[in-house]
Amino acid sequence: MIEILATNITSPLGRTTEENYLAVKAGSSALKRYEGWRGVPEVFTASMFSDEQMTEISIAGYSRFESLAIRSVEECLAHCEIDVKSARTVLILSTTKANVDGLDIDGSGEYLAPGATAKKIAAYFAMQSDPVVVCNACISGVTAQTLADRLLSSGKYDNAIVCGADVLSPFVLAGFLSFKSLSPEECRPFDIERLGLNLGEAAATIIFTRPQRNGEVNEARWQLLKSRLNNDAYHVSAPSPIGEGSAEAITRVLEGVNIDDIGVVCVHGTATMFNDQMESKAVEHTGLSDIPLSALKGYYGHTLGAAGVLETILTARALDDGIILPVRGFSEIGVGGKVNISNEEQRCDKEHFLKIISGFGGCNGALLYGKGYNEAGEQGAVEFTEKHCVKITSDSVEVDGSRVATETSGGALLKELYKGYIGDYAKFYKMDTMSRLALVATELLVRGETAEERAAEHDVVFFNRSSSIVADINHLATIRDRASFYPSPSVFLYTLPNIAMGEVAIRYQYRGETSLYILEQRDVRRMEEIIASTIKSSYAPTLISGWLDCRSEDDFEAEIKILTKK
């Protein structure tokens, strides 16, 4: 359990949490209609910073994305007293595509991999500890808060700075356009006439601390009481229609909780046909039909890696003010599940709220926040057994220390392994290189398990450095020529690197946590910290984890292991 010390939202609606809250409370929206923006050939509605706003935010020597994240963290730090330079303060950056705009359409931009970007941001504040990037599609912000709780509860850190940020670019817009999921009008969450989502750019920061250990409780501070991450193992780009993945996450965080204490459920509410329907079913199935829902996309659009952080902050601020913010754009119910939605402000005096979210790759997350609880103490050390290990490079394969004979190298090696050990999963040929690597490495790994062990629940947590650079370059090729702008949804999907974990979950029907963390370089100590904290808090008895990195279609490496709780 951890406490919120300070927050910030930097968006087109304002530079502080209070400015943003008052704007939303007044019904203001940052959504605007764009046509011909940076060569994107279709009309869309989005929330973006104006040139004047970005001039104020920009910092010399830093990219648009880096400047935005720095400004948000900077303003947040001004509202609390922590030693940002201490090795016991960690930066967790939540983002989907970070500096991907640096790849640019013509290749002229300066691109930094996400881990290096986070290191550059941390260096601005002279931070000693190495940062972590959470890249878990739409649920990145919720995953980042969960990681903050795990790391602080382990006792190794005193404070965590969680910053969620993303900026828009032709790269990102083209991808969502390829899915036909963008609305040309302002989005309408849960409404019968909803046409799709709007995208937005923002940064949002929460500074967490461990509560006082002297028994005193700061009644004014929000505390992250419980969290849950899981996969529905259904589809990498569509949620399960009945929402069992989201429902399972909700059920876990509400164990032992009186539902009547929940003031509001802050949902993802993207205004897409499938997401809103799924969430309504998950809410109904978990007995929350009468609890008011809050959906904030009508004010900001979908802010990607910032969404889970921004929406947590606004929900908490609204409850501090005794209200539930109205769902902007909603008029008439258009989902099958029984839910309580209003386009008018509601009064609320409760001090618990639930934040739920879902994303590509089948991932789901839920957070329970409340006030007035005593510190539960640090988590003790967890013991686990390392059972099997697989190492794959571009020209070698090793299983449990024994070399596997192969005849090829590079991308052909992955095909050779697929044909030799799987062979009946044709979807393999549609995958990007990293997902192929994840699939064959996992198959070699679990072949050493018994049938009973394979059937047990597994979490899948991977680390890498290069994010999804191979898929990113392939996606850029589909939009580089403005005369033949043809983004492919099947190509864009794999620019979300957590899709590799989703593919593993679907293939083996793993419904535990699936997460990807990006580091500047392979850092065994940091990886072990995250792995240990994941195992400690997990409901699954088994974790598949390790390094999974692809630098090109013929240059990759994996070292993954099966870890089992003792």
Is residue 364 one of the residues assigned to a domain?
Answer: yes
CATH number of the domain within which 450 lies: 3.40.47.10
Model confidence at 377: pLDDT above 60 = no
Q: What is the largest CA-CA distance in the chain?
A: 68
- Check whether residue 342 and residue 454 sit in a common domain: no
Confidence label for 321 from pLDDT (cuts 50, 70 and 90): very high
| Same domain assignment for residues 161 and 186 | yes
Q: What six digits make up the tokens of 375?
A: 């510190």
DSSP lists the bridge partners of residue 555 as 552
In a domain, 59, yes or no: yes
Please check the confidence at residue 207 and state whether its pLDDT lies above 60: yes
- On whether both 474 and 525 belong to a single domain, the answer is yes
On whether both 339 and 438 belong to a single domain, the answer is no
Question: What is the per-residue pLDDT across 273-283, written as a single tens digit (0 to 9) for each?
Answer: 999 999 999 99
Q: Residue 226: its pLDDT value, please? A: 96
Q: Give the strand pairing for 346-347 and 323-324.
A: antiparallel
Task: Answer whether residue 375 is part of any domain.
Answer: no
Specify whether 102 is located in the same domain as 133.
Answer: yes
In whole numbers, what is the pLDDT of the chain averaged over residues?
Answer: 94
Q: Which residue, 345, 370, 395, sits at the end of a domain?
A: 370
- Tens-place pLDDT, residues 445-472: 999 899 898 888 999 999 999 999 999 9
Dihedral sign, Cα of residue 402, residue 406, residue 409, residue 415: negative
CA distance 73 to 204: 8
Sole residue written with tokens 């929900």: 315
Q: Does some domain include residue 35?
A: yes
Give me the DSSP letters along 362-388: TEEEEEEEESSPPP--PPPP--EEEEE
Residues 132, 263, single domain; the answer is: yes
* Half-sphere exposure at residue 107, Cβ-oriented, CA atoms within 13 angstroms: 7
How far is residue 506's CA from residue 238's CA, in Å, rounded to a whole number? 12
Q: How do residues 332-341 score in pLDDT, each as one tens digit?
A: 999 999 999 9
Say yes or no: 393 and 337 in one domain: no
Q: Report if residue 377 sits inside a domain.
A: no
The answer to whether residue 110 scores a pLDDT higher than 70 is: no
Task: Kindly state whether residues 358 and 389 are assigned to the same domain.
Answer: no
Q: What is the pLDDT of residues 345-361, one digit of tens each?
A: 999 999 999 999 999 99
Same domain? For 339 and 476 the reply is no
384: left (phi over 0), alpha (psi -120 to 50) or beta: beta
273 lies in the same domain as 349: yes
Q: Is residue 376 part of a domain?
A: no
pLDDT in tens, 176-204: 999 999 999 999 999 999 999 999 999 99
Tell me the residue range of the domain where 523 lies: 384-565
- Judge if 163 and 286 occupy the same domain: yes
> Domain tally for the chain?
2
Does residue 378 form part of some domain? no
Question: Do 301 and 249 belong together in one domain?
Answer: yes
**Which pair of structure tokens corresponds to residue 104?**
């640019």
Residue type, 416: E
Q: Is residue 427, in this structure, part of any structural domain at all? A: yes
370, 397, 431 - which closes a domain: 370
Q: Which of 370, 404, 430 is the last residue of a domain?
A: 370
Residue 486 neighbours by CB under 8 Å, 6+ apart? 478, 479
Phi, psi of 433 (to 5 degrees): -60, -45
How far is residue 521's CA from residue 113's CA, in Å, rounded to a whole number? 10
